[in-house]
Amino acid sequence: MKRILVLCTGNSCRSQIAEGYLRFFAGDRAEVYSAGIETHGVNPRAVKIMREDGIDISGQTSNHIDEYRSIGFDYMITVCDHARESCPYIPSQAVTFHRDFPDPAKATGTDQEIDARFRAVRDQIRSFCRTFVDAMVGG
């Protein structure tokens, strides 16, 4: 079974969304974790837009990278440039991947415009995660 860590700055949106999709697509073929170099709590809008796509991330928690120092990860995925540049710890055996997704938490405008931004980022992350699982975890 593969162990996957998704890392972001605050572990509130992008990494939480990726954790949800990676768990969904990998099923019991992978253990998936997410963390941040800070912890900001799981963003309620991320929970909402994932629920719209049939995935419940409401039980996920915002965790700090240091909590996972003892786990031997196979893969680490950074989902923002800041995390990739600032991560104080990279699992020594983990193969690293990087994809900088826009931060939907920084969206401004009406509620509808902000939700649209969250959905757009969610859809980008879903596509990335499906491709990643197909290529790295297999069927």
Among candidates 65, 70, 67, 101, which has minimal Cα distance to 86? 65
Query: Quick count: other Cβ atoms within 10 Å of Cβ 129?
Result: 26
80 is catalytic: yes
Out of 8, 46, 49, 79, the active site residue is 8
Whole-structure pTM value: 0.94
Residue type for position 43 = N
Residue type for position 62 = S
Architecture of domain 2-137: 3-Layer(aba) Sandwich (3.40)
Out of 87, 90, 114, 136, the active site residue is 87
Per-residue pLDDT for the chain (139 aa), expressed as one digit of tens each?
999 999 998 999 999 999 999 999 999 999 999 999 899 999 999 999 999 999 999 999 999 998 998 899 999 999 987 666 666 656 568 898 999 999 999 999 999 999 999 999 999 999 999 999 999 998 6
109 three-class SS: coil
CB under 8 Å to 98, separation ≥6 — which residues? 77, 78, 84
- Phi–psi pair at 77, nearest 5 degrees: -115, 120
Domain ranges of the chain: 2-137
